[in-house]
């Protein structure tokens, strides 16, 4: 069975099992199959051989799952979009992906209620399954194409390693479906007949409601960035009594601090803590390691583990030569989980994707080294960084700042504390003179940027300069600006 058939299998064997919970909404496996089949039939009849993507806009509603599977069953990849994104960002993604259709939850409800019979399109391993958009250095988001084969390789590894109990798990969904971390909880849940329990952004903003929801979730598998867990650990009640069924914490998307792992093991003594690593271009995660007491005692900076079977992870120098253990270089991933590349951007694809002895490989731009057989992640080689699990190109933020009429020059840099990026700072040279206060200027720029960028990409601090310092080569001295913070 392929991945889609695995999911549909549960509609036959356990049609009343709950596939998804979001607020007061419930979706069973039987309904998921019936409605996704109906939507696939509608899309096939309407668009025929046009295999353009189907864009899906919402916020963790059950209809989004129906739309994802309906699109794929019709032979089309889906492009997930979250309503938290600014309209300008959504417009850019739609312009790049050129979808055949943009679906809202209401559209999905209407189009999946009934449809004429159309023979199902069998999805092949090399067919695009979904397209996720990440931050791009030019201000244009990049669409990462993930195939069915990529996803199947990742999910099969997860099922073998974690030994999920069929029909016995509840996965906590903390990330929006437009963020690739959600792929882990979504498809590990659906392929095992388990329940996906979504935490909406409204709950995250209200601690009392959040902890109540966590307590009612019955979660067995926690999937999040470390930052989300750190936020929860502030509350003393966040312990085994709140989540008595929890078996494992799976972390990816940013650096897991040893202190965070230690506190989780103290509060949840019967649960496992796993640290994982991987870029969107290699399908969520590629390496993993269980963090136990022995790991915590041995390493102050935690390893991100060993590669999944069937995938090679190695570290190279600038000449592309593989480096021995303990030498830092660029992390390269090669295997069936590596993306086809960037949608409509052959230039960007050829710059970082290549053939490695007959296998597709990707230069991550991440720095790392091997030690004791483990991979250690040691930051970005370029300016790209991660904040709260989101990949951000400071150049993307700069490009959007420079698009504002009042901004002449802009430099965006991370604010580093305790060796890690905590937020963004923007240095700005204005186009003309102004009598407005620093507070007024900051609020104005933040408001304008919020119309163009997601909240997590907004600089927390703004510094206004008359001129920027220059290097001997005549370039803006970014290092001096960063040091002035």
Q: Which residues pair with 464 in a beta bridge?
A: 428
Q: Parallel, antiparallel, or unpaired: how do β-strands 312-316 and 353-356 relate?
A: unpaired
pLDDT at 49: 86
Can you tell me whether residue 360 is helix, strand or coil? strand
Comparing CA positions, the residue from 297, 172, 288 lying closest to residue 223 is 172
Distance CA 392, CA 398 (A): 11
Beta strand 407-417 with 420-430: parallel, antiparallel or unpaired?
Answer: antiparallel
What is each CA distance from 106 to 31, 46, 391, in whole angstroms?
16, 18, 30
Q: Which residues contact 341 (CB under 8 A, 6 or more apart)?
A: 144, 145, 348, 349, 353
pLDDT at 473: 46
Q: What is the pLDDT of residues 384-428, one digit of tens each?
A: 788 888 888 888 898 889 889 899 889 999 998 877 888 999 999
Rounded to whole angstroms, what are the CA distances from 315 to 157, 220, 252, 374, 383?
22, 35, 20, 12, 19
The pLDDT score that the predictor gives to residue 399 is 84
Nearest partner of 85 among 182, 201, 183, judged by Cα: 201
The angle formed by the CA atoms of residues 389, 395 and 401, to the nearest 5 degrees, is 105
Q: Is 202 helix (H, G, I), strand (E, B) or coil?
A: helix
Report the alpha-carbon distance of residue 118 to residue 76 in Å, rounded.
15
CA–CA gap between residue 138 and residue 11 (Å, rounded): 44
Per residue in 166-219, pLDDT tens? 999 999 999 999 999 999 999 999 999 999 999 988 887 788 899 999 999 999
Please tell me the predicted confidence (pLDDT) of residue 334: 99
Which residues in the chain land under pLDDT 50? Answer: 472-474
Distance CA(178)–CA(39), nearest Å, equals 21
- CATH numbers and ranges of domains, the chain: 3-371 (3.40.50.12780), 393-483 (3.30.300.30)
SS3 13: helix
What are the distances in angstroms from CA 18 to CA 139, 191, 293, 344, 371? 40, 13, 36, 38, 43
């Amino acid at each position: 069975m392929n991945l889609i058939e695995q999911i549909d299998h549960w509609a036959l064997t356990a049609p009343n099992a709950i596939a998804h919970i979001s607020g007061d909404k419930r979706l069973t496996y039987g309904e998921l199959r019936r409605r996704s089949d109906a939507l696939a039939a509608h899309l096939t009849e309407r668009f025929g051989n046009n295999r353009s993507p189907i864009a899906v806009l919402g916020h963790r509603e059950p209809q989004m799952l129906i739309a994802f599977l309906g699109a794929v069953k019709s032979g089309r990849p889906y492009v997930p979009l979250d309503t938290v994104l600014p309209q300008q960002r959504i417009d850019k993604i739609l312009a790049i992906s050129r979808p055949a259709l943009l679906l809202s939850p209401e559209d999905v409800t209407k189009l999946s209620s009934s449809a004429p019979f159309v023979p199902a399109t069998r999805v092949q391993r090399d067919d695009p399954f979904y397209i996720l958009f990440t931050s791009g250095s030019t201000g244009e988001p990049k669409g990462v194409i993930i195939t069915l084969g990529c996803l199947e390789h990742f999910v099969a590894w997860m099922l073998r390693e974690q030994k999920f109990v069929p029909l016995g798990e509840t996965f906590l969904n903390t990330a929006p479906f437009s963020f690739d971390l959600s792929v882990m909880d979504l498809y590990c849940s659906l392929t095992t007949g388990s329940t996906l329990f979504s935490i909406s952004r409204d709950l995250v903003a209200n601690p009392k409601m959040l902890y109540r929801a966590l307590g009612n979730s019955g979660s067995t598998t926690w999937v999040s960035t470390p930052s989300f867990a750190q936020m929860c650990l502030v509350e003393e009640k966040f312990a085994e009594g709140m989540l008595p069924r929890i078996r494992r914490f799976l972390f990816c998307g940013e650096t897991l601090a040893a202190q965070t792992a230690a506190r989780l093991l103290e509060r949840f003594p019967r649960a496992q803590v796993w640290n994982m690593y991987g870029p969107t271009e290699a399908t969520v995660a590629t390496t993993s390691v269980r963090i136990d007491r022995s790991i915590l005692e041995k390493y102050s900076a935690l390893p991100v583990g060993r590669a999944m079977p069937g995938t090679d992870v190695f570290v190279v120098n600038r000449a592309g030569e593989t480096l021995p253990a303990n030498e830092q270089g660029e992390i390269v991933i090669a295997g069936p989980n590596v993306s086809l590349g960037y949608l409509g951007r052959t230039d960007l694809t050829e710059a970082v994707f290549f053939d490695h002895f007959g296998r597709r490989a990707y230069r991550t731009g991440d720095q790392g080294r091997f030690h004791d057989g483990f991979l250690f992640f040691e930051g970005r080689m370029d300016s790209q960084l991660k904040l709260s699990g989101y990949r951000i190109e400071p150049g993307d933020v700069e490009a959007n700042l420079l698009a504002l009429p009042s901004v002449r020059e802009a430099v965006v840099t991370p604010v580093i504390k305790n060796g890690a990026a905590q937020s963004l700072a923007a240095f700005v040279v204005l186009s003309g003179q102004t009598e407005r206060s620093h507070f007024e200027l900051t609020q104005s720029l933040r408001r304008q940027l919020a119309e163009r960028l997601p909240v997590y990409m907004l600089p927390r601090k703004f510094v206004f300069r008359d001129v920027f310092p220059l290097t001997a080569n005549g370039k803006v001295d970014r290092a001096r600006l960063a040091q002035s913070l």
